[in-house]
C-alpha cells in the first residue's frame, strides 16, 4: 500500500463502518485500508475497493502489514474489556514501527478523571501513546445515544425505564456524530497531533427526561425507576444480560449520577460543523424500527 493512505481498525464494528462510510465521501477507496477479523468482513470491504487486512489486536504479528505505509490511522478501542490495554499497546507499537504520522484513538469522555470503571484502560492507553511517542490525537467520546435507545423495547413492554443514574445529566450523541468527528480529524488540513477532544452531545438529559420523551412519542406511559447500583445490576442479569456486561452498565449509570457522562463544551458539534443529533430523533428512529 503506497504512502498517504488511511487505516481504520475495527472497521467492521458499528462505529468503524460509519467512519469508513464517512471517509469514502471525500477519499477514494484505493486510499483507505481497513483492519478486520473475519473473512466475511474482509470480503465485504474488498468489494468496495478498499485495502483489506485481516488482523487482531491480540496478535501483534498481524498488525505489521496493516500499518505499513499508512499515513493516518484510527485506532478504535477494542470491545474486549479487560484486555484492551495490552491490545491497544500492540496496535500503537505497530503504528510507531510503521512511522504513522497521526494515530487517532477513541477514548472515553474525561478519561483522565472519569469515575467509570471503563476509564482505566483508556487512561492506560493514553499513557502508552505518550510513552511510545507516536504522534496522536485523542477522541474522548462520550456516551452513545444508542446505548439507552437499546432499552426502549423493554421500557415499553414494562412501562418502566430502569437505571441508577439518578438526576445525572447525560450529554450523549449518536455513533454517526462521533464517526463524523473522527473523519473530520483524520482528514483535517491543520495539525492534530497532541490534541485532546472532549466529545459529547449539545444537550443533556436525565433518564427521567428520556422516559418522558419516550412516553410522548410512543403514546405509552413510561416512568423512570431509579435503583441502587446493585439492584439495577441484578435486574439486568435477570433480564438475560451476562454478569460482566450488566456490571459495566450499572457502573456506568452510577458514574452518570456523578456527572461522568456530562459535558457542555459543544466541542463535538464544533468539530463536525453541525448540531449533534437530538435525543428526540434517536428515540424516533428506534420507535420506527419497532412499528
Instruction: Report yes or no on whether pTM surpasses 0.85.
Output: yes
pLDDT score at 291: 79
* Ranges assigned E (strand) in 66-164: 70-75, 102-108, 136-141, 160-163
Q: Which residue range is the domain that position 225 belongs to?
A: 146-169+202-263+275-290
Q: Is residue 126 part of a domain?
A: yes
- Sorted by sequence, the CB contacts under 8 Å of residue 183 that are 6+ apart come out as 19, 22, 23, 25, 26
Instruction: Mark whether 130 and 37 lie in a shared domain.
Output: yes
Give the other-Cβ count within 10 Å of 201's Cβ: 30
pLDDT score at 205: 98
pLDDT score at 2: 42
Last residue of a domain, one of 141, 160, 185: 141
Q: Return d(Cα 223, Cα 220) in angstroms, integer.
A: 10
Angle CA(156)–CA(252)–CA(214) in degrees, nearest 5?
25
pLDDT score at 48: 95
Distance spanning both ends of the chain, measured CA to CA: 46
Query: Cβ distance 85 to 55 under 8 Å?
Result: no
Number of independent structural domains in the chain: 2
User: What letter would DSSP give residue 112?
Assistant: T
**pLDDT string in tens for the chain (291-residue length):** 344 499 999 999 999 999 999 999 999 999 999 999 999 999 999 999 999 999 999 999 999 999 998 999 999 999 999 899 999 999 999 999 999 999 999 999 999 999 999 999 999 999 999 999 999 999 999 999 999 999 999 999 999 999 999 999 999 999 999 999 999 999 998 899 999 999 999 999 999 999 999 999 999 999 999 999 999 999 999 989 999 999 999 999 999 999 999 999 999 999 999 999 999 999 999 999 997
pLDDT score at 84: 95
Q: Return d(Cα 82, Cα 122) in angstroms, integer.
A: 11
pLDDT score at 4: 46
Give the CATH number of the domain where residue 110 resides: 3.40.50.720
Q: Is residue 196 part of a domain?
A: no
Interval 216-227: pLDDT, tens: 999 999 999 999
pLDDT score at 1: 38
Instruction: Mark whether 100 and 131 lie in a shared domain.
Output: yes
What percent of the chain is helix, strand and coil (3-state, nearest 5)? 45, 20, 35
Interval 177-196: pLDDT, tens: 999 999 999 999 889 999 99
Give the other-Cβ count within 10 Å of 112's Cβ: 14
Give phi and psi for 275, each to the nearest 5.
-65, 150
Q: Is residue 214 part of a domain?
A: yes
Instruction: Mark whether 13 and 99 lie in a shared domain.
Output: yes
Q: Return d(Cα 22, Cα 263) in angstroms, integer.
A: 25
Q: Is residue 270 part of a domain?
A: no
Q: Return d(Cα 180, Cα 241) in angstroms, integer.
A: 30
Amino acid at each position: 500500500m503506497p504512502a498517504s493512505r488511511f487505516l481504520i481498525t475495527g472497521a467492521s464494528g458499528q462505529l468503524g463502518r460509519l467512519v469508513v462510510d464517512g471517509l469514502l465521501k471525500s477519499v477514494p477507496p484505493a486510499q483507505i485500508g481497513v483492519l478486520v477479523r473475519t473473512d466475511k468482513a474482509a470480503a465485504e470491504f474488498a468489494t468496495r475497493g478498499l485495502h483489506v487486512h485481516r488482523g487482531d489486536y491480540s496478535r501483534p504479528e498481524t498488525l505489521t502489514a496493516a500499518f505499513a505505509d499508512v499515513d493516518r490511522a484510527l485506532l478504535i478501542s477494542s470491545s474486549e474489556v479487560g484486555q484492551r490495554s495490552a491490545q491497544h499497546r500492540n496496535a500503537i507499537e505497530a503504528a510507531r514501527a510503521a512511522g504513522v504520522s497521526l494515530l487517532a484513538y477513541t477514548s472515553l469522555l474525561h478519561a483522565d478523571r472519569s469515575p467509570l470503571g471503563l476509564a482505566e484502560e483508556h487512561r492506560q492507553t493514553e499513557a502508552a501513546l505518550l510513552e511510545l511517542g507516536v504522534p496522536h490525537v485523542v477522541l474522548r467520546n462520550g456516551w452513545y445515544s444508542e446505548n439507552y435507545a437499546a432499552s426502549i423495547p423493554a421500557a415499553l413492554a414494562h412501562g418502566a425505564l430502569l437505571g441508577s443514574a439518578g438526576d445525572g445529566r447525560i450529554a450523549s450523541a449518536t455513533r454517526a456524530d462521533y464517526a463524523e468527528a473522527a473523519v473530520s480529524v483524520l482528514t483535517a488540513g491543520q495539525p492534530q497531533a497532541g490534541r485532546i477532544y472532549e466529545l459529547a452531545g449539545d444537550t443533556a438529559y436525565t433518564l427521567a427526561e428520556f422516559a418522558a420523551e419516550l412516553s410522548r412519542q410512543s403514546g405509552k406511559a413510561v416512568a423512570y425507576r431509579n435503583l441502587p447500583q446493585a439492584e439495577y445490576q441484578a435486574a439486568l442479569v435477570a433480564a438475560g444480560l451476562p454478569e460482566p456486561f450488566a456490571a459495566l452498565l450499572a457502573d456506568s449509570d452510577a458514574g452518570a449520577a456523578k456527572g461522568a457522562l456530562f459535558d457542555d463544551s459543544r466541542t463535538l458539534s464544533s468539530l463536525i460543523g453541525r448540531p449533534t443529533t437530538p435525543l428526540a430523533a434517536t428515540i424516533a428512529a428506534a420507535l420506527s424500527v419497532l412499528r
